[in-house]
Structure 1
């Protein structure tokens, strides 16, 4: 019986010692991360390289993508109405709207992965900010393509600006990882989108050089449905 009591007491002491050790480890981490010596780029966050320098630029680009996604959605709704009835144009602009929204989500994940915070209560502007000034979106087919082409060029310029800031900053502010991310996920895709929309606009402009272009526009819309 004495042996059993001794073993039980030993086990209790061991458990208590382990609990104290665990609490000590937690307190050590909490104390280290809350002290001024570990503020800024520390082991307690994911921030490194030039994220502080580039984060406002990315926030501005996120805002632009969200705004353009909304504009494209309005265009898609406009061409999906019973008055316009252009399912091909609706498909084109719905796809661009979805892409811009998905790009915004991907960028938010990238910023938070690097230890940043996306704050939509603060308006971020930069020298490379994409214009979000809106005109009327109730336009005809050709003018809608011209509007979309301008939008894609603005987004391409914004992505190029962020990439340039991440690549050509000073040593302390340079961020190769963010530059690589934008190069892999935005630059090529935006260039291809600009090329495609410019081709659409030029093709439709040529097809409409007839006295009654209604059939040309209808056939072009049929073509867009198949893309």
Structure 2
């Protein structure tokens, strides 16, 4: 009689079933991607790494500003980092714009006379006067926006006669307009310098975006008008120039 030997488990060179199951759960088919993810988690991704480590706490940081809110009725609530020098310079610029507007308005009245009757020049100087007044109002609105106080100053009485024996009224008035535009540009540059001196980037941006570029264009246009009037002289050519402005 033959005795049957007991069956013993056969050992394989590869992993057992349980080992294979565990490995399938915790290992990625793409070992390279898995290593990259582990490194990112361990070292921190550059896109998600905090820049400073400082946590913004609004309720703590706002306490400083809250204490600065005025409780007195006559003080502005909107004012923030707006220097007294900037406020005063804005009021000065308002006065400049109104004075220039007043001179242009006087020129409009002169050329609109029945014995002068240059309607194109009258139209040009009336529009110029309105534009300068709009500039003054822009500065007034900005003054209120920043929490300053608008303080209007006196306006000088302009000339009422603009005829010139040598140049004639048209050329003389246009040269005067060119000088006024250059003077206004200089005042605007001074205001911009005040803004930079007080680190007021908002005021500097306001002057740059609303006025400086436009001022250069106005100087160029009036310079061309002066050149054209110098060519035509005081005679019949002034009438043709006036018609160009009118139409």
Structure-1-length-normalised TM-score: 0.70
Question: Cα distance, 1:52 vs. partner?
Answer: 2.1
Equivalent residue, structure 2, for 1:144 = 173
For 2:161 and 2:205, locate their aligned partners in 1 and report how far apart those are by CA, in whole Å.
35
Tell me how far 1:174 sits from its aligned partner: 1.5
> Gapped runs of 5+ residues in structure 1?
1-28, 124-130
Number of aligned positions between the proteins: 174
Residues 85-109 of structure 1: per-residue CA shift (max 9 Å, x gap)? 0011011100110001111111100
Deviations 1:64-98 (A, max 9, x none): 11111111001001001101100110111001100
Q: For structure 2, which runs of at least 5 residues remain unmatched after alignment? A: 1-65, 164-168
CA distance in 1 between partners of 2:195 and 2:211 (Å): 14
More helix by share: 1
**Aligned residue number for residue 87 of structure 2:** 55
Q: CA deviation at 1:164?
A: 1.5
Task: Indicate the RMSD between aligned Cα atoms, in angstroms.
Answer: 2.4
Distance 1:193 1:75 in 2: 17
Q: Superposed, which structure 2 residues align to 1:1-227 within 5 Å? A: 33-34=70-71, 45-120=77-152, 134-135=158-159, 137-139=161-163, 140-167=169-196, 169=197, 173-208=198-233, 213-226=234-247
Q: CA deviation at 1:47?
A: 1.5
| CA distance, structure 2, for counterparts of residue 133 and residue 165 of structure 1 | 28
Q: Distance in 1 between matches of 2:143 and 2:113?
A: 38
1:153, distance to aligned residue in structure 2 (A): 0.6
CA contact (8 A) 1:50 1:174 kept: no
**Larger CA Rg, structure 1 vs 2:** 2
State how far apart, in whole Å, the 1-side matches of 2:106 and 2:96 are: 15
Q: Secondary structure at the match of 1:34?
A: coil
Give distance in 1, aligned partners of 2:226 and 2:157.
22
1:185-212 deviation per Cα after TM superposition (whole angstroms, max 9, x unaligned): 110111111111111001110111xxxx
1:46 CA displacement: 1.4
Which whole-Å deviations, capped at 9, do the CAs of 1:17-42 have from their partners, x for residues lacking one?
xxxxxxxxxxxx9xx7437xxx98xx
